[in-house]
Structure 1
């Protein structure tokens, strides 16, 4: 192929190749910095499939990823697997495939340009692609939709090539089939293109019936799994699984339905509006002003290219219609028309209508090519301006854009979580900011987390949603504005959004671009070399267990630590210092139940070390007899909107923790719930506490509780986060009590704990 180029063409070809490789690969892992949630999702699922045989939803070799719940295209994940295998899971390894495909696209468009016009035209269109801001940017990060254009380009080139050599037609249709796995708009673009291009080729008898039948058969075989996938998820049919591949059913609404006006009620109005917007983006603004698609003041192509694009468009029409014979330029026009029409079926953005850009670049090249043929001086002046513009783009891209886009790529978040994890002991939780989109996926990626463990431990805020949000998995809890987070040993917060909730003077901080890792000074200190190390704390305590009339706490404390334990009536005023047993061999503290007040007791355990360090912990434990009983033992009916309430645990399976106080007795609920208690005949009063779980995340709206009997309202109250409430209710002559919680609009704030419900008998 290169032998066919003269020395000037060869020099230009090498220059284009060098520019292409340099602009796609230099600083590939660092620019853009950080990791976008789509990249992390694709990369982690590829890693999980490679190392464990399942993605994060437990699916083996899916033809399409479930991802968040509404789907993510799978093709880039499979292409990325060899690079992840060789280089390990990293930002660099998942961006290699898009960069290579970007280089391949420049080569293919050169071949396409040479076939439809000439070698010089091929060099012009390849050169424009090589310095196109759009193409440089899509080649440098791993958004799976960005690979559709190169597969569409390859398919179209092979189709045109097949007009000379029919053996290329099956290969073209194979690539058209593969393109369907790259991005959902291909479900419309490719069938529409093949119908129109097929009709055009049939008119001029370009292919034989045998060529077409064989090629269509190959297309059907390749496309069948994705067709079944669309059928399953549109009609809500059962998923299909086999040892070779799986066709999943989404947990949420398919994204291709709620992104497309085809599934809406006003198709023609919405499509017309979207097409008008597409014209504005493509030919007026040259920009959709979405950060991931364009640098500041830079469009996908320079605005001054518009006259040449328009001129090239009409040149293509003239070329396609001047003779009554097949002309490959007509295929480019059909490609443009189909892509543009499909852009009207969803809210326009450069990445959603990315198949239309290569035809526009070809129109631009035709305009510039014609300018060269008519005025070399003017054309060279235009190329000089284009070169200066391209240099200016790359300068902006590597400087101010790199800073601006760091928030979109959550730069530093994954590294902050990964580094924080190394300081935690078994059983300790890491609280991580949720002030970003789907934060959990960045942590899975950077921690290279076992998907089997993730599946076992994950808890969603909105199970079954189109974009399921994870509240916790493993030892990571998302949300840093709760009391529990502010009491945690290690927290990863976002500057600004989260930082105002924290007194940073209480923490050792480490900065990771837009994020801070906070290490509590109660637990950590810095050594002489500023390394973070753990302090020895005066005492550590676990939730108590009751064994044969004695409460036992697993505990560890230093020899020179003084410990005092005070018991306070939870529903009264009495308080006293109580005696306790200490077993340093088995690391246990014991308290005889007989020392406690009847009913619920709040124990305040204080430890003071000889060097002045102090640690206080509060527990509520119970001491029941014939006159004081646990109301939760008499529950007869349970109703709850989401999941099942938990006895003596928060809904999240954590300890019953409200306002930093741990309770041994209670009910952990989620969302709206109703619990009916059948009261003993001689019940006189109910003493009960309640509050939002400290594991419910940050929230402000609160929720509402009611305590009623036989439709008679006894207590009604709005309950807010980080507060503990209690009520004393006269229940004489009542048969039943109903405990009701009503969740508000904020689903981050709907985990209510009913706590220490004491029935006092007559």
Structure 2
């Protein structure tokens, strides 16, 4: 790679880093409970070696009933030790590995196509990708997993091409991905098998030691994935929570179809042939699978969860759409010359195989993020091929003019994304990002010394985690209390969590606590008059709606 391309590569990585770190503590607006949980559990592990549930060095952590791999929490220990327990430190690993992914994409592209220009295009598209930028800035474990998957794929391909020692690093990085996100535990073994099959002509005549290294690499990945899914706890439980096989809708449709056939007097053989679990679940799976390839998902609205959505913005830029189709065409056309050219397409179609098994928050931008490298590679190949065709047909001058027009169109697309993200996302449905929770906790922290108890509504789920995080509550003390979370009429410190959007405390004014001074934290939707409207403190979201009402409770039961 010449010096000019080296400079462009450094510039791409630098821009990717800026886009993921600029005002990282402020955007995305709000601090989601998943982020708070990741940060506090990292803080707890750093202080005690245990998570919030008192489990010693766990492989999975229970996050509101979702048993997630604990890799991100361990990775976040160092940033929290360096910068303290705050939003920046919690989001730092995701942003850092997000920026580093541009390097991994470059290496993988060059390993497949042996073309540095293509590598730079793919890295550039990833650096500016709305999908990747948004998730990189939001404490997402899947970003870290994706980095290790791509890097593992690069080393695996290098190993297949003859560098046997690279299988060791491929195994290391692919194994690392398994400890960050559930989907990796299915996707990575499948990817390794497909890579080996596609590259069979490259290694079939290799020596026995080479084949043994390849086999051992796949074997270790396969069995550890199997263990983490079924033997380590957490993985199988999460699958049961969100899989299409445990949603009642498909079963109810099947029962309805059978009942309708019964009314029509259909023969039992026909009923069994057309309406059974294999057929209905098969159609259900295909329906979810193809949703991940819809233009609406990729280019218009994006997907779920809603806190990742940028208003009126898809996951890719509209200008990339034609080059995605051109790239698919050219890869199919040229794959006869080099079977490795099939890798981006197979990666793309393999991407949603795990995500399509779920029915919760679909189409899901996190579970399907593994599609992104393939989309970047295919689009880059289509862009490169189109520009080469223009040069061949119309000459260098027209090619340069085409590049200028494309750059201007891309700049408009990119500017539109930045506008939607930094301006509109701030005020568009901010409740999905738990906007106002931090401000509420800070207000309580300021008022708390003057009160004996703080009674908090738990109508907005997971609120206890924001108190743990922004109060930097001592993990050891929390664990000694039995990790109460937000169980009814329990809490930690001065906090007591109660059901209902308008909290009341049965002990206020009672013989047990006759003189207790109580501060109430109610939901913004609470219409019950506070004790003194003049003393009510309103916590508002960025869009002006009221998230919480904080008011004193003296004399309530007198």
Shared fold, TM over 0.5: yes
Task: Specify the SS of the correspondent of 1:50.
Answer: helix
Aligned partners of 1:422 and 1:261: how far apart in 2?
46
Alignment match, 1:722:
none
Alignment match, 1:498:
526
Query: 1:114 touches 1:121 (CA, 8 Å); kept in 2?
Result: yes
Alignment match, 2:107:
111
Is the aligned partner of 1:518 residue 2:516?
no
**1:340 to partner: Cα distance:** 3.1
Aligned partners of 1:284 and 1:33: how far apart in 2?
23
Aligned partners of 1:432 and 1:469: how far apart in 2?
11
Further displaced range: 430-439 or 59-68 = 430-439
Query: 2:192 touches 2:218 (CA, 8 Å); kept in 1?
Result: no
Question: Match for 2:419 among 395, 404, 428?
Answer: 395
Deviations 1:573-599 (A, max 9, x none): xxxxxxxxxxxxxxxxxxxxxxxxxxx
Alignment match, 1:586:
none
Further displaced range: 375-384 or 181-190 = 375-384
Deviations 1:32-90 (A, max 9, x none): 12211111111111110111110011111111112323312211111111111111111
Query: 2:95 touches 2:136 (CA, 8 Å); kept in 1?
Result: yes
**1:296 to partner: Cα distance:** 0.9
Query: 2:185 touches 2:228 (CA, 8 Å); kept in 1?
Result: no
Is the aligned partner of 1:153 residue 2:134?
no
Which consecutive unaligned segments of at least 5 residues does structure 2 have?
248-276, 391-398, 509-516
Query: 1:371 touches 1:378 (CA, 8 Å); kept in 2?
Result: no
Question: Match for 1:64 among 46, 56, 60?
Answer: 60
* Residues 212 and 506 (structure 1), Cα distance of their counterparts in 2 relative to 1, 3 Å cut: farther
Is the aligned partner of 1:277 residue 2:277?
no
Aligned partners of 1:616 and 1:510: how far apart in 2?
20
Counterparts of 1:365-514 in structure 2, within 5 Å, are 365-375=380-390, 376=399, 377-404=401-428, 406-424=430-448, 428-457=452-481, 472-474=490-492, 475-479=494-498, 480-484=501-505, 489-495=518-524, 497-498=525-526, 502=530, 505-509=533-537, 511=539, 513=541, 514=546
Aligned partners of 1:314 and 1:209: how far apart in 2?
37
Query: 2:298 touches 2:316 (CA, 8 Å); kept in 1?
Result: no
Aligned partners of 1:68 and 1:30: how far apart in 2?
24
Deviations 1:214-235 (A, max 9, x none): 4554566577666434324xxx
Normalising by structure 2, we get a TM-score of 0.80
Query: 1:174 touches 1:219 (CA, 8 Å); kept in 2?
Result: no
Counterparts of 1:654-669 in structure 2, within 5 Å, are none
Aligned partners of 1:424 and 1:284: how far apart in 2?
47
Query: 2:160 touches 2:203 (CA, 8 Å); kept in 1?
Result: no
**1:96 to partner: Cα distance:** 0.8
* Residues 388 and 455 (structure 1), Cα distance of their counterparts in 2 relative to 1, 3 Å cut: same
**1:142 to partner: Cα distance:** 0.3
Aligned partners of 1:339 and 1:387: how far apart in 2?
29
Aligned partners of 1:112 and 1:248: how far apart in 2?
33
Counterparts of 1:522-561 in structure 2, within 5 Å, are 522=554
Is the aligned partner of 1:48 residue 2:44?
yes
Normalising by structure 1, we get a TM-score of 0.60
Alignment match, 1:551:
none
Alignment match, 1:631:
none
Aligned partners of 1:427 and 1:500: how far apart in 2?
21
Task: Specify the SS of the correspondent of 2:118.
Answer: helix
Alignment match, 2:194:
196
Question: Match for 2:98 among 96, 102, 126?
Answer: 102
Task: Specify the SS of the correspondent of 2:537.
Answer: strand
Query: 2:319 touches 2:409 (CA, 8 Å); kept in 1?
Result: no
Aligned partners of 2:215 and 2:519: how far apart in 1?
58
Further displaced range: 41-50 or 327-336 = 327-336
Aligned partners of 1:617 and 1:288: how far apart in 2?
48
Is the aligned partner of 1:260 residue 2:243?
yes
* Residues 473 and 200 (structure 1), Cα distance of their counterparts in 2 relative to 1, 3 Å cut: same
Higher relative contact order (CA 8 A, sep 6+): 2
* Residues 518 and 344 (structure 1), Cα distance of their counterparts in 2 relative to 1, 3 Å cut: closer
Task: Specify the SS of the correspondent of 2:307.
Answer: coil
Alignment match, 1:231:
230
Query: 2:122 touches 2:380 (CA, 8 Å); kept in 1?
Result: yes
Alignment match, 1:240:
none
Query: 1:95 touches 1:141 (CA, 8 Å); kept in 2?
Result: yes
Deviations 1:719-748 (A, max 9, x none): xxxxxxxxxxxxxxxxxxxxxxxxxxxxxx
**1:272 to partner: Cα distance:** 1.4
Is the aligned partner of 1:141 residue 2:156?
no
Alignment match, 1:127:
124
Query: 2:203 touches 2:211 (CA, 8 Å); kept in 1?
Result: no
Deviations 1:616-661 (A, max 9, x none): 966xxxxxxxxxxxxxxxxxxxxxxxxxxxxxxxxxxxxxxxxxxx
Which one has a larger percent strand, Structure 1 or Structure 2?
A: 1
Question: Match for 1:341 among 334, 353, 359?
Answer: 353
**1:330 to partner: Cα distance:** 2.6
**1:23 to partner: Cα distance:** 0.8
Alignment match, 1:331:
343
Aligned partners of 2:53 and 2:219: how far apart in 1?
28
**1:212 to partner: Cα distance:** 4.8
Aligned partners of 1:499 and 1:22: how far apart in 2?
44
Task: Specify the SS of the correspondent of 2:54.
Answer: coil
Question: Match for 2:18 among 7, 19, 22?
Answer: 22
Further displaced range: 80-89 or 469-478 = 469-478
**1:316 to partner: Cα distance:** 1.8
**1:161 to partner: Cα distance:** 2.4
Query: 2:185 touches 2:225 (CA, 8 Å); kept in 1?
Result: no
Query: 1:490 touches 1:517 (CA, 8 Å); kept in 2?
Result: no
Aligned partners of 1:498 and 1:486: how far apart in 2?
21
Query: 2:530 touches 2:536 (CA, 8 Å); kept in 1?
Result: no
Larger Rg, first or second structure (1 or 2): 1
Which consecutive unaligned segments of at least 5 residues does structure 1 have?
233-246, 462-467, 523-614, 619-762
* Residues 469 and 395 (structure 1), Cα distance of their counterparts in 2 relative to 1, 3 Å cut: farther
**Cα root mean square deviation, aligned:** 3.0
Aligned partners of 2:88 and 2:487: how far apart in 1?
26
Counterparts of 1:627-706 in structure 2, within 5 Å, are none
Aligned partners of 1:291 and 1:105: how far apart in 2?
24
Aligned partners of 2:556 and 2:104: how far apart in 1?
69
* Residues 414 and 197 (structure 1), Cα distance of their counterparts in 2 relative to 1, 3 Å cut: same
Query: 1:485 touches 1:491 (CA, 8 Å); kept in 2?
Result: no
Alignment match, 2:183:
185
**1:434 to partner: Cα distance:** 2.4
Deviations 1:114-142 (A, max 9, x none): 33331111111111111111111111110
Query: 1:339 touches 1:356 (CA, 8 Å); kept in 2?
Result: yes
**1:521 to partner: Cα distance:** 7.8
